[in-house]
Amino acid sequence: MKVRIGVVGNGAIAKYRHLPEYASRDDVEIVALCDIIKAKAEKLALRYDVKKVYTDYKQMIEKEKLDAVSVCTPNYLHSEITIYALKHGLNVLVEKPMATSMAEANEMIETARKNNLVLMVGQNQRLAPMHVLAKKILESGMMGKVNTFRTVFGHGGPEHWSQTGKWFFDKKQAFAGSLADLGVHKVDLVQFILGDIDQVACFTDTLEKKECTVDDNAVAILHMENGIMGTVETSWTYKPIEENGTVFFCEKGTLKMAVEPDAPLVAYFAEPGRGRCVFEVPQIQTNEDGGQFSTGVIDGFIETINGTRENPVSGEEGRKALRAILACIESAASNRKVLVEEVN
């Protein structure tokens, strides 16, 4: 039996990630598409031979016999659509950030639990092969204790990725800017590899984006429960190319991910004679031309529904990333260090 999918929101993330990856699987049928701009849905429906198009997600859910939905809408709609779908018996893959508040995230998780359904969050960076291997390397003790880290995600702005994505710049629809768009990837990644964040101190600003009511740049200091410290930088003003790298500074050397062009994952050892070790892994996903390949998100979602895999990014994991971002927002607004546990 094929998993019958509906996709709500047919912008860039659906076009470049969800739909191609669903279409690549023999055990998936894309049944219906939904977008308030009908022409967007119709264009993608032609490409993927999808028979039904809607402008109202409730009608799609009620009229079609679906097993699951992808929620690829502006952030402020994530919880509303997710909860509605879960209450109608559908598994849900929701894009990051999963919600705009802890209350929304909590309700999403509880609704999925009550209905015994899959709720997965599209945090793809923890699924990238280089990041999975980096976690194993650090856990092996090869590099010794991690002392500090630095992680960066910046590009020229969402307008270059999504031609109809003006909502990214509107606080009412996005709730935060580069922090919500890019920072949520990085806080999820460092928590996946190192453990939970317990304190943050953050600065944000809007440096270039006109008519923008959210941050386009942010710098945060993260303190982990295990004592490791590091920084996360996010930006919508990096030109001409993006940065999406992470460095761990360790007791026995340095581990770099997506920093050096010829070496996606490379270790430098402090011990004399050991030098440089390059690990064979694919490059990280990128929005630049030629950089697309499977994120692993769709595979993880379908395999979780089929019961052949444990949920790789549960609602609880998505909530942890959201909570850290909300703590960063509070820190920037209040000009103080914020304990993550304060955010409710």
pTM of the full structure: 0.96
The pLDDT, as a whole number, for residue 287 is 55
Residue recorded with tokens 């031979």: 49
Residue recorded with tokens 């001409």: 240
Residue 291 has pLDDT above 80, yes or no: no
150 burial via Cβ count (<10 Å: 0-12, 13-18, 19+): middle
Lowest-confidence segment of 9-13, 84-88, 278-282, 337-341 by average pLDDT: 278-282
Residue 292 has pLDDT above 80, yes or no: no
Question: Residue 290's pLDDT band (boundaries 50, 70, 90)?
Answer: very low
Question: Per residue in 188-210, pLDDT tens?
Answer: 999 999 999 999 999 999 999 99
Question: Residue 293's pLDDT band (boundaries 50, 70, 90)?
Answer: low
Domain boundaries, the chain: 3-124, 125-297+320-342
The pLDDT, as a whole number, for residue 273 is 86
Q: How far apart are CA 98 and CA 316, in angstroms?
A: 10
Helix then strand count (H, E) for the chain reads 12, 15
User: What's the mean pLDDT when you consider all of the chain?
Assistant: 96
Q: What's the average model confidence in pLDDT over 66-95?
A: 98
Q: What's the average model confidence in pLDDT over 267-283?
A: 92
Residue recorded with tokens 């064979």: 280
Question: Per residue in 176-186, pLDDT tens?
Answer: 999 999 999 99
Superfamily classification of domain 3-124:
NAD(P)-binding Rossmann-like Domain (3.40.50.720)
Q: How far apart are CA 127 and CA 141, in angstroms?
A: 21
Question: Per residue in 224-270, pLDDT tens?
Answer: 999 999 999 999 999 999 999 999 999 999 999 999 999 999 999 99
For domain 125-297+320-342, which CATH number applies: 3.40.190.10, 3.30.360.10, 3.40.50.300, 3.40.50.2020? 3.30.360.10
Identical fold, 3-124 and 125-297+320-342: no
In 10 A of CB 309, how many CB atoms? 13
The pLDDT, as a whole number, for residue 92 is 99
What are the beta bridge partners of residue 53? 33
Distance in angstroms between the alpha carbons of the first and the last residue of the chain: 41
Residue 134 has pLDDT above 70, yes or no: yes
Torsional sign, CA 174, 60, 34, 48:
positive
- Identify the DSSP state of 27: T
Question: Per residue in 298-328, pLDDT tens?
Answer: 999 999 999 999 999 999 999 999 999 999 9
